[in-house]
Amino acid sequence: MKKHLLVVLALLAIVYMGCKDNAYAPAPPAPANSYFPETLGSTWKYRDSIYGEKTDMAPIYGVYNDTISFTITGGTSNLNGLKCYDANVFSRHYGAGTAYFYNSSHVSGLLTQSAPYGLTFLQLLTDNANVGYSWTTSPVCSTYAQSVFQSNPVRTVNTILERDITRVVGGKTFVNVVHTSVNLQMKIDSTGFHNIAYYDFYLAQGIGLIEKDAYIYGNLNETETIVDYNIKN
């Protein structure tokens, strides 16, 4: 499996369109209490840097920079039974699309659509869990999955690494930050599951995702850092 395909999986920007609901319900958690706000009109802007190697099939050598912005629209989508909050997303390099944020029963996550994997679900946080808590989930959204995940079983091992830390991102200091990890594993042969991709997520209370670092086969592949934000009540 080539690394450039997993780069796509690491991106937040997606273009999948699910079943739409007109009503903005259920209402998302109040921003002050949430590490992943999803209130109508909230916006985030990120600098996204993707690192490539000459061994990649995709011709990305050095650092490939992008700017990605998200705006919560007030619409919701039902993706394989998961009620998600829609966000307009705009990438300087890839144009416009739709992103899907999930928040239910203290679990926050992202649903992404990328070839050849289909619709995948990464759980970023269980907000009422203590440091050291780990849970295993499937990133596959059954009927939306493509052949790669259907033929090769996959799982994600999610862990709360740190809570209530201070982190400086882009020269700004953020407090009440939770640091989590998501380890994407694939069962390739009879030896069991193998690590494919590893993600570090940093989420600030009342603000949301402030930094994401993606490692593919142990090498840093992407860094996404917050540039600006405006969280609505």
Query: How do residues 136-159 score in pLDDT, each as one tens digit?
Result: 998 877 554 444 555 678 899 999
**Stated pTM of the model:** 0.83
User: Quick check: 213 and 185 in contact, CB under 8 A?
Assistant: no
pLDDT of residue 145: 46
Measured CA to CA, the distance from residue 43 to residue 70 in angstroms comes to: 5
pLDDT of residue 23: 52
Measured CA to CA, the distance from residue 228 to residue 213 in angstroms comes to: 18
Measured CA to CA, the distance from residue 233 to residue 225 in angstroms comes to: 23
CATH number of the domain encompassing residue 21? 2.40.360
What average pLDDT does range 156-173 have in this prediction? 96
With 90 as the cut, is the pLDDT of residue 229 above it? Answer: yes
With 90 as the cut, is the pLDDT of residue 98 above it? Answer: no
pLDDT in tens, 190-201: 788 888 889 999
How many separate domains does the chain show?
1
Measured CA to CA, the distance from residue 114 to residue 8 in angstroms comes to: 6
What average pLDDT does range 172-188 have in this prediction? 94
Most confident of 18-22, 174-178, 182-186: 174-178
- Is pLDDT larger for residue 111 or for residue 156? 156
pLDDT in tens, 35-88: 999 999 999 999 998 876 554 445 555 567 899 999 999 999 888 788 899 999
DSSP assignment of 34-62: -SS---TT-EEEEEEEEEE-TTSSS---E
Q: What residues form DSSP beta bridges with 50? A: 64, 222
DSSP assignment of the chain: --HHHHHHHH-S------EEESS--SPPPPGGG-SS---TT-EEEEEEEEEE-TTSSS---EEEEEEEEEEEEEEEEEETTEEEEEEEEEETTTEEEEEEEEEETTEEEEEEEETTTEEEEEEEEETTPPTT-EEEE--EEEEEE-HHHHHS-EEEEEEEEEEEEEEEETTEEEEEEEEEEEEEEEEEETTEEEEEEEEEEEEETTTEEEEEEEEETTEEEEEEEEEEEE---
Give me 32's structure tokens. 């002050």
Residue-number span of the structural domain to which 128 is assigned:
3-230
Altogether, the residues listed in the chain come to a count of: 233
pLDDT of residue 142: 59
Report residue 10's pLDDT band, with 50, 70 and 90 as the boundaries.
Answer: very low
Of 80, 88, 75, 83, residue with least CA distance to 103: 83
